[in-house]
Structure 1
Amino acid sequence: MQYSRDDENLSLTRFESMLKTNDILFFDSNEFENIIHYYLEHGKIALSKRAIKLGLEQHPSSINLRLFQVEILVIENKFTEADELLDQLHNLEPTNEEVFIQKANVLSKQDEHQKAIDTLLIAIEMSNTPEDDADLYALVGMEYLFIDKFDKALVFFKKCLESDTSDYSALHNIIYCYDFLNLNEEAIDYLNKFLDINPYSEVAWHQLGRQYFAINDLAKANAAFDFAIISDDTFVGAYIEKGKVLEKLKKYEEAIENYKITLVLDDPTSFALLRIGQCYSKLGQDDLAVQFFKKTIDEDVLLDKGWIAITKFYMKRLDYQSALDYIKRAVNIDSDNVIYWKLYATVNKRLNFLEEAEQGYKRTLELGNYELDTWLNRTDILVTLGEHQAAIFNLLQATEFYPENAEIEYRLAGLYFMVHQPEEGRFHLKNATRLNIDYSFIISELFPQLKDRPLVKAIISEGKKSSN
């Protein structure tokens, strides 16, 4: 028996009225099912349980109401009770496929995914309705995804889509599996065959465009996104992807047009605003570029790419004070963002704010950025600030990540000579010249007071002879 939306609303109104007045009203089992389904969909578990209880009082033999009871037990992680109830229902109706579906759900929640698959396959054998088969195939596909069997998941998502060609979630899952398996060409073949039968599927055209983009066939990607837009001229995702293709083709004005269409079709996204800003920057239209970068961070203050873009924009134009203003704001919003701190350090270094730059590099390292240039930049600033012991400690930490590195060894040599530990200085300088004599300029650049010392000159001279 089919119920319209009005029927459902009437049933809900009557049911909630009954709860308020404590009057006992009669509902048929289908009405109870619709009421329970509504409450479950809206996360109203207490009301679902109340409806199940009252429903079973009026319809004690209803299998479907008992199955809703199982759903509640699963939600509450009462798997043993759910299992016991399902066993009872199976004894009553051994060919009820819904019992097997719920049994599979219970198994899945307990990470028994292979058993869940086996149970769902029994439900598929029992099924008499092709439209239900599509849902069952999708459930099997999801279980295979849980255990990383993407090739098997692919088989069942394809069966799902064959049973219901409008199931775009199945199509997305098929492409997800192909992507994970790095099978772009196979994905392209599959999508082209699908489009032969469903030529106006905007989702399939969109996915095809993404596959061509992945293999850098930009002309075909562009054409696919055009067909997606022809199929649905309000498809925001297709305009975004087409914009990305046009950017790669260096057609920045056309890319901007496509991104701007998305701003009209839907609420502005920080991604589209950022891309427009980047395109204007490539075109040398700085005023418009910065305008859109500012709109990006206004739209989403947590989008790190927006803050990074506007900071780098000013850095490129040597406006380091403006760059510093923005990266300071970014650091205040997210003090654990390693890219922000590295930019903060770089900008302060350019402005010769050395103590702030050193703090930036230090925080970058604390957050786990162990790139060589981070260690070296911090060291060089500490040397300039006369913090020789701190610089040595910094480099000794760096050697754990970069053992036998000439740039580190020359700096350690110079620092040990500066703190009057000539034996350590000699050891590291000999090591440095052995590793790479070409970096010997580091001594005269960072430690000019050492370059004329006879011991230093002798070790470097010997290193040059050895390298010839």
Structure 2
Amino acid sequence: MEEEFEFDFNKDAQNSVERYEEMIRNQDQYFFDAQAFEYIIDNYIEKNDPVKALQVVEFALNQHPYAAVFLIKQAQLLLFTNQVDKAFAALEKAEMLEASEADIYVLRGNIYHNLERNAEALENFEKALGLAETTDEILLQMAYVYQNMHDYENAIVYIKRSLEQNMENKDGLYELAFCYDILDKQEESIQFYQEYIDNDPYSYAAWYNLANSFHKMDLFEKAIDAYDYAILIKENFASAYYNKGNALVQLDKYAEAIEVYKQTFEYEPPNADTYCAIGECYEKLERMDEARSYYKKSVKMDSKMADAWFGIGVTLNFEERFFESLHFYKKALELDEENPDFWFAIADAYYKLGQIEQSVEAYYKVLEYNPLDIEAWLDFSTVLYEQGKLVEASETIAEAIKNNPEAAELYYRMVAYLFALGQTQEAISYLETALTTDPEKHYILFEYLPQLQDNRLILEVINKYIK
């Protein structure tokens, strides 16, 4: 028996689902019009039940064999359940029935995109462009394909075309920021977002991306202003508060940054990154108990937060609890074993504990991972010098200069070591290089070896450059 059920969407849409489920229970055949079937299918898709949705499609195609819409839905569901070949076959049939249906080509383009068959994906999206009423999403899909091909210039072209049609598309604005970032074209990015804001001054996403571009160019005041506009438009915009906090940190405004970071908790649950960032601010303000408390909150939330473990160590080091600090530095190192900052802190802690051999080993690690760290070279050479290893200290600085030929500090330090070794001529030669590189820093020499202030030869050379 076939019972007819006419679908009245406004009257009771849910009724169609109940009628369908009743039909299945009774192992019966009811008739549904196409609109009712669409609603039933979408109902199961929303409930994340693609198997039941596919069953409904089968019924729909039995009753409406010439409706391409059900073949397209079938292809979507087959794709969702990883039946790619069957999805292609369903789209073939749909195309035979209704070749002017844009969704066929959009879906096929998406499948090709997933298979990284980029040329075929673009070809299908291009077809869809000619058929669809609204094309902003299709243009964005094409941009994703170009991103896949690492052709970010073309991706930008398509994202902009998409945004021209739909100013509200937040995804487009974020993708554009991503492409400009990859190409390191922050100036172009800033120009685009400023023009965009002229047309749509209430776009919080545009203000946010503009702020991020300013941030990347180290224009922190401008970034903060733009974050403020984003927050003004969208009060619960947690990411804007967080990034504003980061910008304030760059300006050494730690107390303000703490307040802004804490505001994120009003709009999203606290997370380990924000706790760690607050900890760092308290650390910079030398409020070590509060810093440690936030670092601990961070690792409690995420035990893999290396920076927070390290931060706990830094607070203990500040209190001269060197042995305890080592424990936390090592926890950080377990999570990020090539981090030169962690090795530097460990080298320093061992040195302060009088464990010179371990300190030296750690310094070697620092400089292996970051040979551009001038402070580390200087500190390492000091450790060697204090152990009476004058030759090794001078050799270490020679290696440092090789890696950092512009660093005047290294040349001044070399002068001190060469004088200590009695190699006066060579010392003078290095002193001249140091003075040529940066005459203002000559005081470093006397800080390190105060007795050189009475050395007539050195004073003559310095006066020649200072005048």
Q: TM-score, normalised by structure 2?
A: 0.71
Distance of aligned partners of 1:88 and 1:240 in 2 relative to their CA distance in 1, 3 Å threshold: same
What residue is the counterpart of 1:431 in the other structure? none
Classify 1:249/1:57 alpha carbon distance in 2 versus 1 (closer, same or farther; 3 Å): same
Letter matched to residue 174 of structure 1:
L
Show the counterpart of 1:289. 291
Q: Summarize the Cα distance change of 1:143–1:335 in structure 2 as closer, same or farther, 3 Å threshold.
A: closer
Alignment of 1:92 with 2:97, yes or no, is yes
Offset of residue 166 of structure 1: 1.1
1:106 matched residue in structure 2: 111
Q: Which residue of 2 aligns with 1:121?
A: 126
Per-residue CA shift, 1:327-372, capped at 9, x if unaligned?
455567x59776798466764565456898899899x89xx96979
Q: 1:37 is matched with which residue: 10, 35, 42?
A: 42
Amino acid at match of 2:145: E
TM value normalised by structure 1? 0.71
Q: Which residue of 1 aligns with 2:56?
A: 51
Counterpart of 1:124, as a letter, is L
| Deviation per residue, 1:30-83 (Å, 9 max, x gap) | 333333334445543322322222222232222111112222343455444433
Distance in 2 between the 1:214 and 1:409 partners?
35
Could you report, residue by residue, the CA deviation over 1:270-300 in whole angstroms, capped at 9, with x for unpaired residues? 2222222212222222222222122221222
Counterpart of 1:271 in structure 2 is 273
Q: 1:150 deviation in Å?
A: 1.1
Task: Quickly say closer, same or farther: Cα 1:92–1:221, change in 2 above 3 A.
Answer: same
Match of 2:217 in 1: 215
Tell me the distance in 2 between the aligned counterparts of 1:254 and 1:344.
31
Aligned residue number for residue 135 of structure 1: 137
Cα deviation for residue 16 of structure 1 reads 4.3
Cα offset for 1:239? 1.4
For residues 171-197 of structure 1, give each alpha carbon's deviation from its aligned partner in whole angstroms, at most 9, with x where no partner exists. 111121111222111111111111112
User: 5+ residue gaps in structure 1?
Assistant: 382-404, 411-435, 443-450, 452-459
Deviation of 1:199 after TM superposition, in Å, equals 0.9
Report the CA distance shift for 1:153/1:349 in structure 2 as closer, same or farther (over 3 A). Answer: same
Correspondence 1:163 to 2:168: no
Who is 2:263 aligned against?
261
Structure 2 letter corresponding to 1:142: Y
Cα RMSD for the two superposed structures: 4.3
Q: Give the Å deviation of 1:169.
A: 0.2
Amino acid at match of 2:228: D
Q: Which moved more, 1:94-103 or 1:43-52?
A: 43-52
Q: What is the one-letter code of the residue matched to 1:192?
A: Q
Deviation at 1:256, TM superposition (A): 1.4
Question: What SS does the corresponding residue of 1:72 show, helix, strand or coil?
Answer: helix
Q: Does 1:7 align with 2:9?
A: no
Shift in CA distance, 250/337, structure 1 to aligned 2, threshold 3 Å: closer
Change in Cα spacing, 1:322 to 1:216, as seen in structure 2 (3 Å) is same
Residues 87 and 322 of structure 1, relative CA distance in 2, 3 Å threshold: same
Which residue in 1 is equivalent to 2:181? 179
Q: Distance in 1 between matches of 2:57 and 2:325?
A: 62
Cα distance in structure 2, aligned partners of 1:282 and 1:409: 33
Q: Which amino acid aligns with 1:60?
A: P
- Of all paired residues, the percent bearing the same amino acid is 25
Q: Is residue 56–residue 65 contact of structure 1 (8 Å, CA) maintained in 2?
A: yes
Give the residue type in structure 2 aligned to 1:293: Y
Report the secondary structure of 1:148's partner residue: coil
1:60 to 48, 58, 65: 65
Secondary structure at 2:270 match in 1: coil
Shift, 1:205, TM fit: 0.9
The question of whether the paired residues in 2 share the 8 Å contact of 1:202 and 1:232 is answered with: yes
Q: 1:274 to 1:80 in 2, by over 3 A?
A: closer
Q: CA deviation at 1:2?
A: 9.7
Structure 1 residues 336-345 or 291-300, which shifts more? 336-345
Name the CA shift for 1:331/1:225 in 2 (closer, same or farther; >3 Å).
closer
Q: Measure the CA separation in 1 of the matches of 2:356 and 2:87.
A: 65
Equivalent-residue separation in structure 2 for 1:20 and 1:351 (angstroms) = 78
Check the 8 A contact 1:341/1:361 in 2, yes or no: no
Q: Deviations over 1:430-457 (max 9, x none)?
A: xxxxxx9x99x99xxxxxxxx9xxxxxx
Q: Trace 1:316-355 onto structure 2 (pairs within 5 A).
A: 316-327=318-329, 329=331, 334=335, 342=343, 347=349, 350-351=352-353
Cα distance change of structure 1 residues 371 and 215 upon mapping to structure 2, 3 Å threshold: closer
Q: Which runs of 5+ in 2 are unaligned?
A: 1-6, 384-393, 400-410, 431-467
Partner of residue 240, structure 1: 242
CA contact (8 A) 1:331 1:340 kept: no
What letter matches 1:53 in structure 2?
E
